[in-house]
Amino acid sequence: MENEPKLLWWIFFTIPLLISNMQNCAYGEPQVPCYFVFGDSLFDNGNNNNLSTLAKANYTPYGFDFSKGPTGRFSNGNNTADVIGKLLGFDDYIPTFNEAKATKNILRGVNYASGSAGIRNESGLLAVGDVISMDEQLQNHRVIISLITEVLGNKDSAMKHLSKCIYTIDMGNNDYTMNYFLPQLYNTSRQFNVHQYATVLIQQYSQQLKSLYDLGARKVAVAGLLQSGCSPNALATYGTNGSSCVEMINNAVQIFNSKLIPLVTNLNANLPGAKFTYINLYQIDAESTRAFRFTRVACCNLTSTGLCDPSTIPCPDRTQYAFYDSAHPTEARALILGRRAYRVQSLTDAFPVDISLLAQL
């Protein structure tokens, strides 16, 4: 009987999926009316372009294979959020916050993600300059909700609209790589051991996710952290001591990830109508690298910041590289990450459901 609540919860989530897919949106329409994106450089589509920051990717060779050229995506092409958006049925790319405000193109969603941003407000700031932290991204979302309320006429209509949207959130990577593991700039590693730090992060993240729920979000996919210790930047900075990756970073990240499923479970149990789900990006990321010939080196020539050198062209076959620069996936790898987040290949890729099923709830 111990597993009965979990079983009931699973049934609650999945029974609607037994209903015929004929009840989904009409052919050619997205599976949900809107898609909102929060996160860091894995999802950033240009929000950092106007900031005073080193974390920018609005120049070549970024966008080398992208239809619009360099846009601010830390990739040669589509990033993971773009891939998920396409799989959800959105023909057009989700606009950045500034684009959405300027054009009033808000009803189909907004991307708020910011390269180098974190759960903690100070993450990334001392290392690269201005970033849009998770708290600030939520504040930007409040601005958009006000505009949506104006367009739809009243708050009830806005909340009904927002409750049908998909929300994806990728936060926490920079709270490690651009905070905890930068002791020359931050004192968090002296304040907390890795278990304490993960707990502190989860506590703050929990409040942020509850704030998102209070702002109307119901269908929320929370991404686990990647194998940050396997990036070219981590390998060059710390060395591996005989391992294939920097284990102290990966171990710390996994402690944080291990707390996300209980967090998701708690949110669903205590927030009426909440449908949070966990995407196991760490596992997907680990398995995705098997598809590539070059898994620990960058596709582009790097500057001292670890970003691509604007005066050079990238490697000729981007499909063979897992990393485009010292930290960010190529489009080929983003396709794997996005596709498995959308539709699982393994039962442990997501809990309790993947994004394709979340969209149908």
Name the percent of the chain lying above pLDDT 70. 93
Structural domains in the chain, sorted by start: 35-360 (3.40.50.1110)
Residue 221's CB is within 10 A of a number of other CB atoms, namely: 24
Predicted TM-score of the model (pTM): 0.92
Q: What is the mean pLDDT of residues 59-78?
A: 98
Residue 7: per-residue pLDDT = 41
Residue 243 has a pLDDT of: 87
pLDDT tens, position by position, 98-109: 999 999 899 999
Q: What is the mean pLDDT of the chain?
A: 93
- Segment 338-347 shows an average pLDDT of 97
The 10s digit of each residue's pLDDT in 257-296 is 999 999 999 999 999 999 999 999 999 999 988 899 999 9
Which amino acids are annotated catalytic?
Answer: 41, 325, 328
Cβ neighbors of 250 (< 8 A, separation 6 or more) are 227, 228, 229, 230
* pLDDT for 175: 98
Of 155 and 6, the one with more pLDDT:
155
Q: Please give the Cα distance from 291 to 324 (Å, whole number).
A: 15
Instruction: Give the pLDDT of residue 129.
Output: 97
The average pLDDT across 179-188 equals: 98
pLDDT at 307 over 70: yes
Beta carbons of 216 and 192 less than 8 angstroms apart: no
| Residues 46/73, Cβ–Cβ less than 8 Å | yes
H, E, C per residue of the chain: CCCHHHHHHHHHHHHHHHCCHHHCCCCCCCCCCCEEEEECCCCCECCCCCCCECCCCCCCCCCCCCCCCCCCECCCCCCHHHHHHHHCCCCCCCCEHHHHHHHCCCCCCCECCCCCCCCCCCCCHHHHECCCCHHHHHHHHHHHHHHHHHHHCCHHHHHHHHHCCEEEEECCHHHHHHHHCCCCCCCHHHHCCHHHHHHHHHHHHHHHHHHHHHCCCCEEEEECCCCHHHCHHHHHHHCCCCCCCCHHHHHHHHHHHHCHHHHHHHHHHHCCCCEEEEECHHHHHHHHHHHCCEEEEECCCECCCCCECCCCCCCCCHHHEEECCCCCECHHHHHHHHHHHHCCCCHHHEECCCHHHHCCC
Is the separation of the CB atoms in 134 and 118 below 8 Å?
A: yes
From 20-34, 165-179, 220-234, the region with the lowest mean pLDDT: 20-34
Q: What is the pLDDT of residue 16?
A: 42
Residue 240: what pLDDT?
A: 80
pLDDT at 242: 81
Q: What is the mean pLDDT of residues 47-64?
A: 98
pLDDT band for position 239 (50/70/90)? Answer: confident
Q: Is the pLDDT of residue 114 over 90?
A: yes
- 16-37 confidence digits (pLDDT tens): 443 333 333 334 799 999 999 9
Q: How much is the average pLDDT of 110-123?
A: 98
Answer yes or no: are the C-beta atoms of 225 and 172 closer than 8 Å: yes
Mean pLDDT on 155-178 = 98
Place of tokens 């500034």: 98
The pLDDT assigned to 163 comes to: 98
What per-residue confidence (pLDDT) applies to 5? 43
Q: Is the pLDDT of residue 1 over 50?
A: no
